[in-house]
A and B are shown apart, each in its own frame.
Chain A
C-alpha cells in the first residue's frame, strides 16, 4: 500500500489514502446521519458553507466513520468490507476535464495514459471530494454529470471507455456561497444533482469546545476566542468580506498554546489575516483588546 516511505514522509497513491485516525468533529445538527443515509443511497452530496467552518473536516470524519467495521455501511451488509478511501481534489480556475479524468503523457515508447483522480476514485469506490467546486470552469463541471445520476458512469472520451463506478464511490463537493461573484455561481443542472448540507460557523459554546480540543487551550480562553469569532463575524459585509473562520480561531489558539500572547496571536491569526484595510484592522484590534487582556 505504501509506495515509498522515508524518515519524514510517506507517499501514497491518490486512491489509497484512507483516514485511519478519527478526526475530531463536533456535529452541529444531524449532518452525520444525513451523510450516512446519502452514502447508502449513493446520492451525491454538496456541502455548502463559509470557508474554514469544517466542511473538509466533516468529509474526513465521514470517510473515517464509514471505514469503521461498525459503520452503517457494514451493518447494512454492504458489499465492501474494506475502508473507504478519500480522494480530494482542490478545484481551481484552470482545472480542466483532463486534470480530473486523466491524460496521455509521453514516455519512451510513445504516449501513456494516466488516470486522473476522479477516474481513480471511480475505480476503487472512494469518496471523491471536489473542494470549492465553483472555482472550476463550467465546461469541466459538466463532466461529472453522468456520475451523479442513476447511471453512475464516467465516460473517458480519449480512451473511448465508459467507466462504471464501483459501489463505494460517492461524489462530494463543497461550495462557498458567500464570496464568489454572480459569474461563479453553480449551474442549476449541476446543483440539482446533489443533496445539500448547509454548514455555518458553530455557535460560541460549540466552537469553544472545538477550539479547546484543536488548539489545546483552556476552556476559558477557548470561550473568549469563540466570542471573538462571533464578534468579528458580525463585521461580515461591513468591511469584511468574510468573518473569521473556525480555522483561523484554531490557529490563534494554537499560537497561544505555544506561549504567544493572546493579543498578538489574534493579531496575526485573525486581524491581519482577514483584512488589509487599516481602519478595519484597527476596529478588529479594538475588539480583540476588549476581549483579551
Chain B
C-alpha cells in the first residue's frame, strides 16, 4: 500500500467524527476510486464527500450515499463531469440532506439514461419540487427514487413537463402528487408517443378548476384505456380528453373509459375517422363526446363509415338547434336517432320489422305467431343453442336479430323473409306433425319394421298391431324411455344408432320437401329463395376434404340447395350417391308428406351407414351430374340392409373399446349448417308439445305421465342437444328449464330462481324489450331532447287479486242514500235517446203542420215546400270510459294528516335508498286495522259509487290501477276490464286495491290509451285519479329535473287526445296547482280541496263530462 496522502488522512480523520457508516462507505469506495482516479482527483473526490458530510447535522447520510454511489457513477462520467454531479448533490444537501441522499442513491441507475449536460437539469427538477416542507421533501425524494424507472420511457423534455405538472399538482395536494408519481412509471411505458399529450392532459386537469381530483383516476384509467386506441391515434384521443377537460364539462375519466372502450370495439383502421368526427363534435358539445364514442361501435355495426358520417351530420344539425336533443341523439336515446340509423343502414333489424314479419307469418301459418329474436330461445336453455339461427317452437318464430349480409335493405329483408318463410312452412306443411301411424305416400313403409312400438301415451291399443305381430309390452306401469317413446319423432330417431347423422339426413330430406313445395306454392318468393340457396351453396366448405359419410350428407345438402352438376363424390360411391339423390328428388314431388321425408331419410341412412367413414384420397374424387329423375324402387335386399341399423350398434360398442387402435375410420361429424334453414329440432318441438299437453292433463287432475327423470333420460339421447358445446348446459338443467317452460311444477326453490318482481335495469341501459307475456313496451318523452326515448318503459299488466266481497257490501250499506241519489240522477240521463225531428224532406210520417202549410202554398200557386216529414232520430249514447287509479305509496297516507309536499320531491335515485324511502312512507301500512281513512280508501269508495252510476247508464267502462318501480316495472292492475261484465269478481278485486310503489304516469296512460283505442265507441274518456305529481325512480332527467315526469305525462295525455280520447285528471293534491297547469294545459282537470268529497264528486264530474 502506497503512502497515504496527508490530505486524505485529514479527511479520513474528519469523517471518523461522523457515525461509523460514513467512514465505512468511504473506505469501501476509496479502494475502487484509487484505481480509477489520479491522486489529485482522488482528493477532490474525498473532499467533496467531506464537504457534504459537514454540511449539516444529518448530511452524513448523504455523504454515505455519495461515497457508495460515486463508485458506480464514475465509470459513466469523466471526472470533469463528475465534479458538477457531486456539486449538484452538495447543493441539494443544502436544501435537504434527505433529498441529496435520494439523489445520490438514484444516480447509478439514472445516469446511464442521461447525457452529462442533463444531469444538472435532473437534479434541478428534484430541487424544484422541494419547498422546504417535509411533504415537499418526501415528494422530491420520491422523484429521485423513481427516476431510473421513468427515463427509459420518456425523454428529458417530457420529464421536465411532467415534473412541472407534479409541481402544480403538489400545490393542490402532496399526497395526490406523490401517488401520481408512483403511478407514472406504470402508465408512461404504455403511452408511447402520446406521452406528451397525456402530460398535457393531466396538466390541464390539474389547472382546471375543481377537476384536479380526477388526476389520479386519469392515471389509473388512462394507462389501461390508451392501449385500446390505435397507436398513432393515441395523441388525438388524449387531445380530445384535454379539450373536454378544458371545457369544464367534467367527465374526463368516463370519457377515457367509455371512449376507449368504444374505440376498442372498433377495427383500428376506423379510429382516425371516428376521432376526426369526435374532434368536430367536441367543439360543439363537449358533453356529447363520451356517449358518441361509446355508441360508435353499435352504429358502425349497422352502417358503413361513410353512412356513419351522414348519421353524425344529422346529430350535429340537431345539436346546433338544441343541445339536449343532440345529446340524446348521440346517446342513441332518441327515436329520431334510431330512425336515422335505420334509414341509413342496409341491415334489417328484427325489432323494427317484427310486426310485419309477425303478421306475414301469421297469415301463412294460420295461427297466432309471435316473433322473437333467436337469442331469447337460447336464453331459455331448453336445448337451442344458436342465437343466429332461425327456428320455430310452438307459436313462436325465432329469427336472427339482425340480417345484414347483403348490401341493400331490400335484399336483406328478402333474406329475412326467406328465413321466416322456411320456418313457417315447417308448420304449414306439417314438419312437426310426423306420426308413426301416417303411411308414406311415396314409399313402402319401412318404419313399422324398425321402429319399436309406442308404449307411452293414452292410446296403447294403437301401438299393438305391428306387422310382425310383435307383442306389445304388457307392462303398463311407469314406462322407461328405453322401452317406448314419448313422441313419434323420438321413436323414429331411436331407430338409428348414429342419431346425429339421422337427424342431419332427415333435415336434408325434410328441408328439400319444404323448399320444393314453397317453390311451387309461393312462386313470388321463389326468386329470393333461389338466390339465398345459391348464396348458401357458395358458402359450403369443400366437400373433397370431408370423410366419406360426412361427404355424402354434404352431397345431399348440395342437391337440396339446387346443385345438379359437378357434384364431387368418391368414384366407388358414385352409384350409391345417385340413388340417394333420387330419394332426395323424390320427396320434392307434389303432395309429399313429412312421413315421406322420414322414409327417404331412413333409406339414405342405411346407405350411408354401410359406407366406412374413411377420408377419401384426392385421386378418388369424381364429379357427377344428377338427372331430374326421381323414380324409385326399393332394392331387393332392402330388408337385409335394414339390419345395419341393429348391427351397427354392436359394432359401435366394440369399436368404442378398440377405438384407441383405430382402423382409419373416423367418427361421424355434421357438415356445416345451411344458415337460412335455421335450426330444425323436430324431436324437441314434438316433445314440448307433448309436455304442454301433459301439463294440461295434469291441470285437469290426471296423473302426470312424464317425470323429470324420464325427461332427462330422453334428452340425454337426443341428437338435437349439442353435446359438450356448453359445459353448463347439462341435460338436467335443460330438463329443468323445459319443465319450467311448460309450467310444470318444480320444487319451490328452483322455480324461485326465475326473475323476481323487480328486475333492476339501469336507467342508462337503453331501450327495453317486452318479452314476457302481458307486458308492453312504450316510448317515453324526453322534453329536453324534444324526442321520445325509444322503448323506454315496460308495462306489466296483472289482474288484481281477489279479496273479500264484504268490503263492497259495507260500502254499499254505509252509502245507501248517496247511491240511491246517484242512480236516480243517472237513470234520468237515459230516456233522452229518441228525439222527434220535424220538417224533413223525407221521414216516417207527414208533419201535419208542415203539410197543411204546404197544401195552402200549393193551392196559392207558390212553390211546393218539400220539408213536410218528421222522424225520430236516435241519439246513441256510446261512451267508453277508463278509470285509472293511482296506487302509489303516498295514497296510503291518512287523509287528515298534514300533507307535506316536500318529501314528494325527494325520491332517491339509488334503488336501495328508494325502497327504504318507500317503506318509510308506507309507514303503518302493514298494520291490520286502521282507524283512519286513507286516500286509497276514498278512491275505492269512489269507484264503488261510480260503478253504480255507470251500471245505471249502461256505459262501457274499465277500472285499472297502476303503480310500479322503475321504468322496467310499471305495474298495471286490472280491476275491471273494459270488456268485462260487472261481477262479484270485480267486487272482490276492489277490496284488494292497496298502496304500492311509485307513480310513473306516462306509460300507464299510454297503456290505457292502447286499451281505449281498441274499443269501439263514439266518446272515449280517460279518467285519471291521482294524489300527487308523477314520480318514480329514474323518472327524471339526470335525476334532478322533476318536470321530466310532468312533461312525459302531459305528452302521454296529448297522445290520447290525438286519438280522440278525452283526458281528465282529478287530483287530491293541494299542491297540485303548480304542476297540473303544465301537465294538463287546456285538458280538463280538477283539484279537490276536500279529499273526503271524492266519492261524491267523481260521479258528478263524470256526468258533466259525458252527458
Chain A residues near B (Cβ < 8 Å): 96-98, 103-104, 106, 110-111, 137, 158, 181, 183, 224, 227, 230-232, 234-235, 238-239, 263, 279-280, 282-284, 286-293
- Selected contact of A287 from candidates B363, B523, B855, CB within 8 Å: B363
Interface residue? B1016 (CB, 8 A)? yes
Chain A residues whose C-beta falls within 8 Å of the C-beta of B366 in the assembled complex? 230-231, 234
Can you list 13 A-B contacts (CB < 8 A)?
A: A96-B843, A106-B854, A106-B855, A106-B868, A181-B1016, A231-B364, A234-B365, A235-B359, A235-B362, A280-B359, A283-B356, A290-B524, A291-B521
- In contact, B854 and A290 (Cβ under 8 angstroms): no
Q: Which residues of B contact A234 (CB under 8 A)?
A: 362-367
CB neighbours of B868 from chain A (8 A): 106
A289 CA to B365 CA, complexed, in Å:
16
Complex interface: chain B residues within 8 A of A106 (CB): 851, 854-855, 858, 864, 868
Instruction: Select which of A103, A235, A239, A291 is within 8 A of B524 by beta carbon.
Output: A291
In the A-B complex, list the 9 residue pairs whose CB atoms are closest, starting with the nearest: A283-B359, A290-B525, A231-B363, A234-B366, A286-B360, A290-B522, A292-B524, A289-B524, A283-B356
Give which listed residue, A104, A232, A263, contacts B363 with CB less than 8 A: A232
Shortest A30–chain B CB gap in Å is: 27
Q: In the complex, what distance in Å separates the CA atom of A231 from the CA atom of B525?
A: 15
Q: Chain B residues near A103 (CB, 8 Å)?
A: 844-845
Q: Which of A183, A280, A283 has the most CB of B within 10 A?
A: A283
Interchain CA distance A289-B871 in the complex, whole Å: 51
Q: Which of B355, B365, B368, B417 has the most CB of A within 10 A?
A: B355
CB pair A279–B355 under 8 Å, yes or no, is yes
Question: Which A residues lie within 8 Å of B527 (CB)?
Answer: 293
Per-residue CB proximity of B859-873 to A under 8 Å, as 1/0? 000001000100100
Q: Which of A111, A284, A286 has the most CB of B within 10 A?
A: A286
B364 partner, pick from A98, A104, A287, beta carbons under 8 A: A287
Q: B566 → chain A, closest Cβ, in Å? A: 29
**Distance in angstroms between the alpha carbons of A8 and B863 in the assembled complex:** 34
CB–CB A286/B356 < 8 A: yes
Task: Enumerate chain A residues within 8 angstroms of B522, measured Cβ to Cβ.
Answer: 290-291
- Is there an interface contact between A96 and B360, defined as CB atoms closer than 8 Å? no
Which of A98, A110, A286 interacts with B845 by CB under 8 Å?
A98
Which residues from chain A contact B844 at a C-beta distance below 8 Å? 96-98, 103
- Chain A residue at minimal CB-CB distance from B868: A106
Q: What is the bound-complex CA distance between A136 and B47, given in angstroms?
A: 126
With A96-B844, A98-B844, A110-B855 in contact, do A288 and B524 touch (Cβ < 8 Å)?
Answer: yes
- In the complex the two chains form, what is the Cα distance from A280 to B631 in whole Å? 45
Interface of A is mostly: helix
A251 to B366, CA, bound (A): 24
Q: From residue B833, how far is it (CB to closest CB) to chain A in Å?
A: 12
| Residues on the A chain within 8 Å of B653, using CB | none
Complex Cα spacing A137 to B873, Å:
10
Interface size on B, residues (CB 8 A): 37
Q: In the complex, which residues of chain B have a beta carbon less than 8 angstroms from the beta carbon of A290?
A: 360, 364, 417, 421, 522, 524-525
Taking CB as reference atom, which chain A residue is nearest B1016? A181
Q: Is the CB of A104 within 8 A of B355?
A: no
CA distance A103 to B847 in the complex (A): 13
Write the nearest CB–CB distance from A68 to chain B, whole angstroms.
39
Nearest-Cβ distance from residue A257 to partner chain B, whole angstroms: 18
Say whether B1077 faces chain A, with CB atoms less than 8 Å apart: no
Asked if residues A283 and B360 are in contact (CB atoms below 8 Å), the reply is yes
A41 to B714, CA, bound (A): 64
A232, A288, A289, most chain B CB atoms within 10 A: A289
Complex interface: chain B residues within 8 A of A224 (CB): 523
CA distance A232 to B356 in the complex (A): 13
Given A291-B522, A293-B524, 18 extra CB contacts under 8 A: A96-B844, A96-B871, A98-B844, A98-B845, A106-B854, A106-B855, A106-B858, A110-B855, A137-B874, A183-B876, A231-B364, A234-B363, A235-B363, A263-B524, A283-B363, A286-B417, A290-B360, A292-B524
Query: Which residues of A have CB within 8 Å of B142?
Result: none
Whole-angstrom distance from the CB of A145 to the nearest CB of chain B?
Answer: 18
CB neighbors of A among B847-893 (8 A): 851, 854-855, 858, 864, 868, 871, 874, 876, 878
- Within the assembled complex, what's the spacing in Å between the Cα atoms of A287 and B524? 9
Residues of B within 8 A of A289 (CB): 524-525
Judging by beta carbons under 8 Å apart, are B359 and A291 in contact?
no
In the complex, what distance in Å separates the CA atom of A161 from the CA atom of B367? 56
Contacts of B356 in A (CB 8 A): 279, 282-283, 286
List A contacts of B807 (CB < 8 A): none
Q: How far is the CB of A150 from chain B (nearest CB, A)?
A: 28
A291: B residues at CB distance < 8 A: 521-525
- Kindly supply a per-residue 1/0 record for chain B positions 519-539, scoring 1 wherever the CB is within 8 Å of any chain A CB and 0 otherwise: 001111111000000000000
Which residue of chain B has its CB nearest to the CB of A262? B524
B329 to chain A, nearest CB (A): 25
B846 within 8 Å of A by Cβ?
A: yes
| A280 CA to B526 CA, complexed, in Å | 23
